[in-house]
Amino acid sequence: MRTALSIAGSDSSGGAGIQADLKTMTMNGVFAMSALTALTAQNTTGVTAVMEVTPQFLQNQIDAVFEDIRPDAVKIGMVASSELIRTIAQRLRAYEAANIVVDPVMAATSGARLIKEEAIETLKEELLPLATVVTPNIPEAEILSGETIHNEDGMVAAAIKISEMYHCAVLCKGGHSVNDANDLLYVDGKARWFTGRRIATSNTHGTGCTLSSAIASNLAKGFDLETSVQRAKDYISRALSANLDLGKGSGPMNHAFDLSGEFAKEAE
């Protein structure tokens, strides 16, 4: 069985963070492992407290995983501080980890900040150059590129700039666009759109975490990047359409929609 590691924060309400990652990886047919960067006290309405782990404890978790069950892919989510970002980069370089998906988490859907301002520069310098693909939403792509995005041409321009600055593929997600939920992948000098009908729901807590984990799972199974993004896009669209409605705020997705195991299929 192929394996994937999520390096991310815990969401006590189960919709985003490590909990979304483990559910997504399992449904996508890979063995899911985790290294926690922080605990958050969080629900569908907001984040009330954050407790970071120490850099040493994060290193211990990553080492414990790599020295025993080497992950075929790694997904990185919420990492709040420069010290933790440096620890991750250093360990992933030491293990020559492959198939690294970086979701540059900056805020929760509810608006709470999940990265310290000064750590954004460290994320750019240390993690993006290691990424097979980085998956910013529109506000994150604006911060990473330094460009304002007004439309789909702006998404392409920002993705090209990020890709050229940090030498990684970029998936600029259109969940925050006013139009359809179209995501733009820029890889090897080519732009490709992954189109998606906008689903009328406010229950989008954890969409970013889910999409990046689904991409990592499919890379772990041996699919190429474009196929992995398409399969992840299909997965998120189906999970959003399953119409779970939990909590008083922006609710989580239902990952148990695929009982036939269609998404768990391996590459031929």
Ligand X SMILES: Nc1ncnc2c1ncn2[C@@H]1O[C@H](COP(=O)(O)OP(=O)(O)OP(=O)(O)O)[C@@H](O)[C@H]1O
Ligand Y SMILES: Cc1ncc(COP(=O)(O)O)c(N)n1
Candidates 245, 206, 198, 171; CA nearest to 77 is 206
- Cβ–Cβ under 8 Å, residues 171 and 162: no
By beta-carbon proximity to ligand X, the closer residue of 61 and 213 is: 213
Q: How far apart are CA 39 and CA 11, in angstroms?
A: 7
Residue of the chain from 2, 75, 233, 255 that contacts ligand X (CB under 6 A): 233
Should residue 82 be labelled a site residue for ligand X when binding is judged by CB under 6 A? Answer: no
Check 9, 196, 206, 251 and give the catalytic one.
Answer: 206
17 binds ligand Y (CB under 6 A): yes
- A 10 A CB-CB count for 194 gives 19
Pairing type for strands 190-194 and 100-102 reads unpaired
Determine the 3-state secondary structure of 49 from DSSP: strand
Phi, psi of 235 (to 5 degrees): -65, -50
CB of 260 to ligand X, least distance (A): 22
Pick out residues in 180-219 that bind ligand Y (CB under 6 A).
205-209
Binding positions for ligand Y, 26-65, rule CB under 6 A = 40, 42
Structure tokens of 167? 């030498």
**Which ranges of 106-180 would DSSP assign to H, the alpha helix?**
119-122, 138-145, 152-166
What residue has token string 């399992």?
26
Owner of token pair 């989510």: 77
Q: What angle do CA 36, 214, 260 make, to 5 degrees?
A: 120
199 binds, among ligand X, ligand Y, none (CB under 5 to 8 A by kind): ligand X
Is position 176 an interface residue for ligand X (rule: CB under 6 A)? yes
173 is a catalytic site residue: yes
Provide Rg for the chain, Cα atoms.
Answer: 17
Catalytic residue selected from 44, 122, 135, 204: 204
Which of 145, 204, 228, 254 touches ligand X by CB under 6 A?
204
- Show the binding pattern over residues 67-96: x = contacts ligand Y (CB under 6 A), - = does not: ----------xx------------------
141 binds, among ligand Y, ligand X, none (CB under 5 to 8 A by kind): none
Site for ligand Y, rule CB under 6 A:
8-11, 16-17, 40, 42, 77-78, 105, 108-109, 114, 205-209
| Active site residues per annotation | 173, 204, 206-209
Site for ligand X, rule CB under 6 A:
109, 137, 173-176, 181, 183, 196, 198-199, 201, 204-208, 211, 233, 236-237, 240
